[in-house]
Amino acid sequence: MKISILFPDQKLEFKKLSETTVHDIGMDSVIKQLTKKEDERVYIRNVMSMFTDDVDTAAYRSDVFDDIYRNKDMRKKIMELLDRVNFLKDYGSYKHDNDHEPSTWDLLHRLDEIRDYIECIEKIYDCLDGSDIHSKGLLSLKDYVSSLYHDNGFDGLKEDISSLRATTDNLKSVTVGINLNERFEACGIGVISINNKPFTGSGVLSHFIEKVSGKDNIQSGTDWNGDYKYNEFTAQSPYIKSVPMAAAFSPMQLMTIRNISEAEDQSRSITNYMDNITDRLLSRTVKHLRNVLNKYATLTITDITDLMPEFSYYIHWVEFIEKYTEKGFSFCKSEPEEGGISMKAEGIYNLKLLEKSDIKDSDIVKNDLDFSDEHCLYILTGANRGGKTTITQAIGQAFFMAQGGVYVPGSRFTYTPADSIFTHFPADEDKTLDLGRLGEECKRFKEIYENATGKSLILLNETFSTTSFEEGYYIARDCEKAILSKGIRCIYNTHMHKLAFEADELNEGSECKKAVSLVVRTEEGGERSYKVEIAPPEGMSYANDIAEKYGVTYEMLTGQ
């Protein structure tokens, strides 16, 4: 089976998170900071959006990331190989083998590429062999590369390449004889000799004209008397043009004199001409070369090149996290568990807070939170701009990063992987024109609920708060009951404090999963603490919060 350091079980099915979800939890802006290359951003986003609740996959990625994070020297060496391998992957001739019948020069170029692949595999092997690695992913890769290195005849391949290069490099020139008809047109060609030294140049046009027009210079017979001079035809001459040979030699082209205005095609003409000649001259070498390439077809070059984006994925995240840990921010390795604690997070915070250039670790308020049977649905209330959305996003980010194998912002994160993350944040105005805002919210929630399972995570942000309090309250209450009936982990960030006050009543209809009131505390004097705590709402009315949010309190309207 193909080796991968991201997808250990390639038979697993993954659920793709929507782009809306990635945006709602704020991870699209974070991913943009990892690399300037859009294709790499897309790759990272796609990998992290592929969700499975498989614990082994989450642990596999987490361990690989930890190895790469700890082995800085190994990371540096791998990065040095990335550009080289990616170039070979993008432009290698093996990708175009089926486009045409390979010529001698194609095959010689292929030899150079395989030699480069061998060197890359050797360096990967040396890099892994000399590093302190413990993850199943990198240890499996080490064994895989070792099998290529030791079991697939690398020594023999290198000897074959060296021998073939020595043979073909020895070809420096070809002596060709050309027959002419009564109209002085080329009607035949033959090889006189293959030489291990190049000809030395003499004049270009004058010597040639002298050779074919001077009566005294026409050679009698075909035996070489040793007086032949080399008359060089170069691509720089504007008078050289290729013309077809006689039918018997249609695969070839011969250089003859013709006044033309286009000189830019001459290099290609000479190359094609010599290419066809050498294909005939080196038929045995070409045949042997092809046999060598077929012999080592099991080298599985693409298996190695496909690993490089996976390494790049981890390394970009490592560099991002390393940059912030050096500034004092805390990150931790996640601990996925099968059927254990649904989630226990300590010291977590929102990554988007790091986008402020002058932010320090001491400026960030960390929070602890857990999901369990008793705390399955959090009804989160608090003052406007008190950090409710920030903590809601932080939980989504923690799952997103943990299941991608990446260190989580915080001091500890133990969890049972989710099979998907669903978000219900306020929609843009242009998306609500047809149904109205409440209709759009109801439609979206119904789709989310139908696709969610007891292993999912749902994040609701002010859902159903765009209608009247009475209408929103009753719709929200029914939705909460439905969430508990499926046992879905959920944070419901809302201004409807009555929902939180009635959490105990809501639990009376639930057999095992419970809802609980979670509040963002406000300190004396109205200062936001940004700290969450399991407690009843602080008593601030829904209307006052909404009025403050939209700037319609008396003080805000009058400026007093």
What string of DSSP letters covers 472-506? HHHHHHHHHHHHHHHT-EEEEE-S-HHHHHTHHHH
**Start and end residues for every CATH 3.40.50.300 domain found in the chain:** 354-407+416-558
Question: Are the CB atoms for 211 and 257 separated by under 8 Å?
Answer: no
Decide: helix, strand or coil at residue 404.
Answer: coil
Task: Write down the pTM of the prediction.
Answer: 0.74
**Residue 137 to residue 285: CA distance in whole angstroms:** 41
Phi, psi of 465 (to 5 degrees): -100, 5
Residue 126 has a pLDDT of 86
35 versus 189: which is more confidently predicted?
A: 35
Q: What is the pLDDT of residue 119?
A: 77
Residue 508 has pLDDT above 90, yes or no: no
Q: Yes or no: say if 378 and 518 are a contact pair by the CB < 8 Å rule.
A: yes
Q: Does domain 354-407+416-558 have CATH number 3.40.50.300?
A: yes
**Tens digit of each residue's pLDDT (9 = 90 or more) over 439-459:** 888 999 999 999 999 999 999
pLDDT level of residue 382 (50, 70, 90 thresholds): confident
Q: What is the mean pLDDT of residues 468-484?
A: 88
User: What secondary structure does DSSP assign to 144-208, as a single string?
Assistant: HHHHHHHHS-HHHHHHHHHHHHHHHHT--EEEEEEEE-TTS-EEEEEEEEEESSPPPP--SHHHH
Q: Which residue would you say has higher pLDDT here, 517 or 222?
A: 517
pLDDT at 201 over 80: no
Kindly report which listed range (43-47, 196-200, 286-290, 315-319) carries the lowest average pLDDT score. Answer: 286-290
Q: What is the overall mean pLDDT for the chain? A: 77
Task: Kindly list the distances between the CA atom of residue 513 and the CA atoms of 2, 65, 378, 488, in Å, as whole numbers in the listed order.
Answer: 42, 34, 11, 9
> Which of 132-136, 196-200, 257-261, 537-541 has the highest mean predicted lDDT (pLDDT)?
132-136
Above 80 in pLDDT, residue 23? Answer: yes
**226 band by pLDDT with thresholds 50, 70 and 90:** low
Vertex 291 angle, CA 285 and 292, to 5°: 90
Higher pLDDT, 148 or 321: 321
What pLDDT band is residue 208 in, cutting at 50, 70 and 90?
very low
| pLDDT for position 236 | 39
**Taking phi first (over 0 means left), then psi (-120 to 50 degrees means alpha), and beta for anything else, what does residue 199 get?**
beta
**To which residue do tokens 């070489």 refer?**
224
Please state, in angstroms and rounded to a whole number, the distance separating the CA atoms of residues 44 and 32.
10
For 150-154, 333-337, 391-395, 526-530, which range has the lowest pLDDT when averaged over its residues? 150-154
Q: pLDDT band for 385, please (50, 70, 90 cuts).
A: confident
Write out pLDDT tens, residues 250-286. 323 333 333 334 444 544 555 565 556 555 555 555 5
Check pLDDT > 90 for residue 400. Answer: yes
536 C-beta neighbours (distance < 10 Å), count: 13
